[in-house]
Amino acid sequence: MSSDPKAGLTLGTREPNLKSRHDIRCLAENVLEREPMTARIVDVETIDVRFPTSRELDGSDAMNEAPDYSAGYVVLHVEGADGNAPPVGEGHGFTFTCGRGTDLAVAAARAIGERAIGFEVADVVHDLGGFARHLAADSQLRWLGPDKGSIHLGTAAVVNAAWDLAAKRARAPVWKLLADMTPQQIVDLVDWRYLTDVLTPDAALRMLERQVPGRAERERRIRSDGYPAYTTSAGWLGYDDAKLARLCGEAIDDGWDSIKLKAGANLDDDIRRCRIVREIIGPDRRLMIDANQTLGVPEAVRWAEALAEFNIWWFEEPTSPDDILGHAAIADKIAPVKVATGEHAHNAVMFKQFLAADAIGICQIDACRLAGVNEAVAALLLAAAHEVPVCPHAGGVGLCELVQHLSIFDYIAVSGSLENRVIEYVDHLHEHFVDPVRVRGSHYLAPHGPGFSSEMHRDTLRRFRFPDGAAWQEVA
């Protein structure tokens, strides 16, 4: 990040020599007083937003019995102007959570977000890589991870809010902001410290340069056809057989040709449910199963063998999301069924290893568990270098809104391919977003509004704020 000698302010990628939130605020106020016309981040607003989804068992799976889809929500507030008119006053971002514990993600986002206060918006926009590295570089907060758990979720929320701010300022959706960057600008987004043994910045640069000539044509194709998707809405574990069958039939009628089923709690149930689904969707549509980490390595292999007759495309989260070698062993044994994981892979170092070990055939990044756009870009580069398709995790609340940007960027500028690539789609809670996803005929249409599609309606933020929003008062 830039230094600003006029204000006596140096906010570098190393932690500034500030002792407390109080010091940061004083410093920010001091700066603002001296340069009132410079657009700066002056405040971070954090909100604990929860939706009482557990009452319907939407989103139920073998590990997550009854989630209340939630968000640790962040608004970066900007004051001042810098020739960017009309001024962009807010950047919205969040990390996805499952109910209890959202307060931890919110507290983490606040602690990380305070590190953003005082930054010039122009500096943030021009060095989103340096800004993201600065956010994560507090050595005391880092101990809580490092680069994982609540503090990483909070970092994701703030980084994503900064991308929303940057894209709104550029009057472009995030995917377009990314896809118009030069290969070097893209490489500079990434923290390479732990990645170079598997992918160097130079190799990434050459890979990105090879895709430059085809960018325009792929952008045209995405704008006209959208990006392919699959649905998980039919197959939640809490649904009974009749509801499962009905929803599968409806999904086919709606044009879906790839359907994912939650599994992993009981093998007999899974065999029965796969049979129901396969009969309804026929032999040619794709069926995926998702065990949500419930199995050990030997059990996962048994599970896949028992379900082999149903022609499973991928077996998702068969075991612990930390078990790189375990996934590699499973992948080796259950081929040609592909092993998919990544929604709980917490950072680029994990993806580096999953890919280098041939442990995954499908790479499932999460836009809010990785530390926001920057680390997601690292994962996209690593996956492309290993020629493994990225099929992002979505659903929850707002994940569809975010990952569409990442996948479209991946297609235009990184992998250059749609082969075996589908974005997860779940039709929950989109009504709460200012710029919700638009899905037609099993494709995400390219978002054209400025920003990251991450902004919720103010009324939603008020109504579902936990525990005092009206929606929660009604539940109580």
Q: Where are the alpha helices (DSSP H) in 99-182?
A: 102-113, 121-126, 128-136, 139-142, 149-169, 174-179
Shortest Å, Cβ 295 to a copy of itself: 8
Can residue 320 be called a binding residue for a copy of itself (CB under 8 A)?
yes
Shortest Å, Cβ 43 to a copy of itself: 19
Shortest Å, Cβ 407 to a copy of itself: 23
Query: Which residue in the block uniquely carries the two structure tokens 């936990």?
Result: 466
Shortest Å, Cβ 140 to a copy of itself: 4
Among 260, 352, 432, 443, binds a copy of itself (CB under 8 A): 352
Region binding a copy of itself by CB under 8 A among candidate stretches 166-174, 187-195, 205-213, 304-312: 187-195
**Inter-residue contact 423 to 403 (CB < 8 Å):** yes
Among 323, 375, 401, 424, binds a copy of itself (CB under 8 A): 323
* Residue 393 is among the residues annotated as catalytic for this protein: yes
Residues paired with 439 in a beta bridge: 444
Region binding a copy of itself by CB under 8 A among candidate stretches 182-190, 232-240, 296-304, 383-391: 296-304
Q: List the one residue out of 271, 270, 285, 278 whose CA is nearest residue 237.
A: 270
Can residue 357 be called a binding residue for a copy of itself (CB under 8 A)?
yes
DSSP result, 3-39: EEGGGTEE--SSPPS--SHHHHHHHHHHHHHH-TTS-
Among 1, 49, 76, 105, binds a copy of itself (CB under 8 A): 105
Active-site annotation holder among 152, 327, 338, 393: 393
Compute CA distances 300 → 19, 147, 268, whole Å.
Answer: 49, 28, 14
Position 162, amino acid: A
Other beta carbons within 10 Å of 306:
14
Shortest Å, Cβ 284 to a copy of itself: 35
Shortest Å, Cβ 74 to a copy of itself: 16
Among 9, 324, 367, 408, binds a copy of itself (CB under 8 A): 324
Q: Which of residues 55-94 bind a copy of itself (CB under 8 A)?
A: 63-68
Shortest Å, Cβ 323 to a copy of itself: 5
Torsion of CA 32, 36, 37, 43, to 10 degrees: 40
HSE-CB for 83 with a 13 A CA cutoff: 2
**What residues contact residue 5 under an 8 Å CB cut-off, 6+ apart?**
none
Can residue 18 be called a binding residue for a copy of itself (CB under 8 A)?
no
Among 202, 217, 309, 322, binds a copy of itself (CB under 8 A): 322
Can residue 468 be called a binding residue for a copy of itself (CB under 8 A)?
no
**Inter-residue contact 73 to 461 (CB < 8 Å):** yes
Among 33, 193, 253, 468, binds a copy of itself (CB under 8 A): 193
Shortest Å, Cβ 326 to a copy of itself: 6
Can residue 103 be called a binding residue for a copy of itself (CB under 8 A)?
yes
Strands 227-235 and 423-425: parallel
The pair of structure tokens assigned to 100 is: 């209890």
HSE-CB for 395 with a 13 A CA cutoff: 23
Query: Which residue in the block uniquely carries the two structure tokens 């990040």?
Result: 1
**Which of 141, 337 has the CB closer to a copy of itself?**
141
* Residue 262 is among the residues annotated as catalytic for this protein: yes
Among 264, 321, 416, 469, binds a copy of itself (CB under 8 A): 321
Can residue 194 be called a binding residue for a copy of itself (CB under 8 A)?
yes
Q: Which of residues 364-423 bind a copy of itself (CB under 8 A)?
A: none
Can residue 205 be called a binding residue for a copy of itself (CB under 8 A)?
no
Can residue 156 be called a binding residue for a copy of itself (CB under 8 A)?
no
Burial of residue 276, with CB atoms counted within 10 A of its CB: 0-12 exposed, 13-18 middle, 19 or more buried: middle
Widest CA span in the chain = 70
**What residues contact residue 424 under an 8 Å CB cut-off, 6+ apart?**
229, 230, 231, 232, 260, 391, 392, 393, 394, 395, 399, 400, 403
**Inter-residue contact 109 to 157 (CB < 8 Å):** yes
Can residue 13 be called a binding residue for a copy of itself (CB under 8 A)?
no
Can residue 143 be called a binding residue for a copy of itself (CB under 8 A)?
yes
The pair of structure tokens assigned to 184 is: 């070097």
**Which of 12, 101 has the CB closer to a copy of itself?**
101
**Which of 216, 325 has the CB closer to a copy of itself?**
325
Can residue 350 be called a binding residue for a copy of itself (CB under 8 A)?
yes
Shortest Å, Cβ 389 to a copy of itself: 22
The pair of structure tokens assigned to 88 is: 């962009």
Can residue 117 be called a binding residue for a copy of itself (CB under 8 A)?
no
Strands 258-262 and 286-290: parallel
Region binding a copy of itself by CB under 8 A among candidate stretches 125-133, 161-169, 340-348, 403-411: 340-348
Active-site annotation holder among 148, 262, 344, 430: 262
* Catalytic residue list: 262, 393
User: Applying CB under 8 A, which residues contact a copy of itself?
Assistant: 15, 63-68, 97-101, 103-105, 107-108, 111, 138-153, 192-197, 293, 296-298, 319-326, 329, 344, 346-347, 349-350, 352-353, 356-357
